[in-house]
Amino acid sequence: MSTHRGLHEASFLILTSLAGSSQHGYAIITDVQELSGGRVTLRAGTLYAALDRLSGDGLIETEKEEIVQNRLRRYYRITHHGAEVLRQEATRLEANARAAMTRLRPGVV
């Protein structure tokens, strides 16, 4: 995956969530909502489509699976490649935010 086009916000937040520890789907949904201050609420369909895409790009992988209350619970973790992509994207976003804040001098808006 190339980082020059940037990550979608949901993918960025999912990777950020998994950078802390491996998690299952519902825990990722909860963590992403917390990380975003409530701005981003992932629905299950959106989450699993993103997880499939991130897995296909080699950014995350399945760590383990277990059955909980007769349902499969799959735990995901970020890969080394995923951590590097997240680091590059965070650096890019930080530089863009710094440039914007520099241009938004007090009294301009």
pLDDT level of residue 109 (50, 70, 90 thresholds): low
Residue-range domains of the chain with CATH: 9-101 (1.10.10.10)
Answer yes or no: is pLDDT of 2 > 50: no
Write down the pLDDT at residue 35: 97
Write down the pLDDT at residue 1: 43
How do residues 31-52 score in pLDDT, each as one tens digit?
A: 999 999 999 999 999 999 999 9
Write down the pLDDT at residue 6: 83
Task: Please give the Cα distance from 15 to 11 (Å, whole number).
Answer: 6
Write down the pLDDT at residue 107: 59
Answer yes or no: is pLDDT of 15 > 60: yes
How do residues 70-83 score in pLDDT, each as one tens digit?
A: 998 999 999 999 99
* DSSP class of 97: H
Residue 93: Cβ within 10 Å count: 14
Is the pTM higher than 0.85?
yes
Q: Are 11 and 47 in contact (CB under 8 A)?
A: no
Average pLDDT, the chain: 92
Residue in the structure block whose two tokens are 């991130």: 54
Residue with the bigger pLDDT between 4 and 43: it is: 43
